[in-house]
Chains A and B, each alone.
Chain A
Amino acid sequence: SQKIEQNSEALNIQEGKTATLTCNYTNYSPAYLQWYRQDPGRGPVFLLLIRENEKEKRKERLKVTFDTTLKQSLFHITASQPADSATYLCALDYPLSFGAGTTVTVRA
């Protein structure tokens, strides 16, 4: 069956460090993969999309990699700030299938 797995544990990091989140999938052949941010009591907000033929994509302090051989995407937040504290969701395919998300807390 199709499965999307993200870091099972919440991530607690010190301000200024890099947060790295993992998204692994099975039984999908996605044309693209997306990352969303969700704050408590709010809907997800789109951050980045990376296509199957792209290895890496950047947006400000965010970097996403996509390895279709490993069936994995890595999401990096560099120079993290307390305002980056949220749950980050990866999503595949169309229509979107979401992972359960990883909660990131950045300590000042």
Chain B
Amino acid sequence: EAGVAQSPRYKIIEKRQSVAFWCNPISGHATLYWYQQILGQGPKLLIQFQNNGVVDDSQLPKDRFSAERLKGVDSTLKIQPAKLEDSAVYLCASSLEPPGGDYNEQFFGPGTRLTVL
């Protein structure tokens, strides 16, 4: 079974520039998550989709970050304009369904390492 795919793996940009990350979840997984992981910290949830609807975006800095999941499959996360503090690894994860009765394991992609200069 193919895992969660992300691209690019690395990106270096100047502050105030724009950047976009792409995620292809595991086939059949209804729920997709974007996390931000700053060096030395654990991942922090930015946004969660179920199919193509947003379930939770309470920690997404909406003045500069946006995300979409068209057709309930692939997703893109965009930062515009980027700040120095956005330097981090951006992880995408997917699961079959959000936990209701029983838990569904989250599968993470390799992440995109963003450096903002």
Which A positions have Cβ atoms within 8 angstroms of B?
4, 32, 41-46, 49, 89, 91, 94-101
Residue pair B110, A43 in contact (C-beta under 8 Å): yes
Task: Please report which residues of chain B, range 34-89, place their CB below 8 angstroms from some CB of chain A when the two chains form the complex.
Answer: 40-45, 48, 56
Chain B residues with Cβ below 8 Å from A45 are 108
Q: Mind listing 28 A-B residue pairs with CB under 8 Å?
A: A4-B42, A32-B103, A42-B110, A43-B4, A43-B91, A43-B93, A43-B108, A43-B110, A44-B91, A45-B108, A46-B106, A49-B103, A49-B105, A89-B43, A91-B42, A94-B98, A94-B99, A95-B33, A95-B45, A95-B56, A96-B106, A98-B42, A98-B43, A99-B42, A100-B40, A100-B41, A100-B42, A101-B42
Residue pair B98, A96 in contact (C-beta under 8 Å): no
Residue pair A89, B42 in contact (C-beta under 8 Å): yes
Known contacts: A89-B42, A100-B42. The answer to whether A41 contacts B110 by CB under 8 A is: yes
Shortest distance from the beta carbon of A103 to any chain B beta carbon, whole Å: 10
Known contacts: A32-B103, A49-B103, A95-B33. The answer to whether A44 contacts B108 by CB under 8 A is: yes
Query: Is B111 positioned at the interface, with any CB of A under 8 Å from its CB?
Result: yes
Shortest distance from the beta carbon of A24 to any chain B beta carbon, whole Å: 14
Query: Is B109 positioned at the interface, with any CB of A under 8 Å from its CB?
Result: yes
Chain A residues with Cβ below 8 Å from B41 are 100
Closest to B3 in A: A43
